[in-house]
Amino acid sequence: MLIDFADIDSRKAYYWMGSTIAPRPVAWVSSLSGDGVANLAPFSFFQMITATPPTLMISPLVQSSDRSFKDTARNIGETGEFVVNLVPFAMVDLMNQTSVTLAPEHSEIEQFQVPMLDSARVKPQRVAGVPVSFECRLAKFMPYPEEQPSCVVIFGEVVAAHIDEAIVAPDGTVDPAKLDIVSRMGADWYGRTRAEANFKLGRPAGWDQRRKD
Ligand SMILES: Cc1cc2nc3c(=O)[nH]c(=O)nc-3n(C[C@H](O)[C@H](O)[C@H](O)COP(=O)(O)O)c2cc1C
C-alpha cells in the first residue's frame, strides 16, 4: 500500500508516522516557569542528537486550539533549563496522568504528588525513582516550520546525568535487562525494554574501515 502524503492531512500523517516510527522512548520533562511553577509532562518526540557536546532533543507540539506553546516549551524558553527523566514501567500510570492539560499556574507535580529530588546543576527538580535523569541547559529553541510552527524543536545540552546503580552491571556497563523503561508506540500502545526482547548484535567485520576511494 502506498500512502502519498500529498493526499493526506496532518492528522493521518501523525497516525502513520507515530504508529510506525516506534518504539520512541518517553522523555518525562520537568521544568520551571519564569514564575517558579514546577511542570512535568511526557514527550515521545525525543532523541539523542550527538555526544559532542552531549545533546538531546525534544519536540513539544504547538497547541492546535490557539497555536500557543505547551507549558514545557514556554518554560524552557523562559528559564533555559530542564530535566529529562526516563520512565520506569512501575511509574507508567503516573507518567500518563501528568500528560493532562493543566493551567500554567497549576503543577502536575503537586496535583499527582510526584516524588521529586533536587537536581545537581539546574533548578528544575528531577523525578525520584526513575533509573535515569538528564539535567539539561537549553542549546537551541527552534519553532518549526518557521512560517507557521507546529512544534518547537528544543536541543538541550546535557550537563549532568543521574544513573540508578541498580541498572549498572558489576563491570560498570548498563545492564539492558534491568533498564525496563517505557516507550510510546502508535495510538494507546506502549513498549517496554524487557530482557526477553533484547538481543546482542556485534558490528560487522571491517565496520571501521575507511573508504579508500
Ligand atoms: C507517552 C506520551 C507521549 C507524549 N509525547 C508528546 C510529544 O512528543 N509531543 C507533544 O507535544 N505532546 C506529547 N504528549 C502530550 C503531552 O504530554 C501533553 O500535551 C501535556 O499536557 C503537555 O504538558 P505541558 O503543557 O505541561 O508541557 C505525550 C503524551 C504522552 C502520554
Tell me: the pLDDT tens digits for 60-81?
Answer: 999 988 999 999 999 999 999 9
99 lines ligand 1 (CB under 6 A): yes
Distance CA 2, CA 5 (A): 9
Distance 174 CA to ligand 1 centre (A): 28
Q: How is the beta sheet containing 24-25 ordered, strand by strand?
A: 24-25, 182-184, 190-192
Which residue, judged by its Cα, is nearest atom 30 of ligand 1? 42
Quick one: pLDDT at residue 64? 85
Condensed to tens digits (0 to 9), the pLDDT of residues 96-109 reads 999 999 888 999 99
Which residue, judged by its Cα, is nearest atom 10 of ligand 1? 60
Quick one: pLDDT at residue 213? 57
Distance 172 CA to ligand 1 centre (A): 33
Pocket probe for ligand 1: among 64, 70, 85, 185, the residue whose CB has the most ligand atoms within 8 Å is 70
On the question of pLDDT at 83 being above 80, the answer is: yes
Q: Do the strands 38-43 and 27-32 form a parallel or antiparallel pair, or are they unpaired? A: antiparallel
The answer to whether the CB of 183 falls within 8 A of the CB of 44 is: yes
Average pLDDT of span 191-196: 92
Quick one: pLDDT at residue 159? 98
- Residue tagged 545540552 (cell numbers): 157
Distance CA 115, CA 119 (A): 13
Condensed to tens digits (0 to 9), the pLDDT of residues 106-154 reads 999 999 999 999 999 999 999 999 999 999 999 999 999 999 999 999 9
26 lines ligand 1 (CB under 6 A): yes
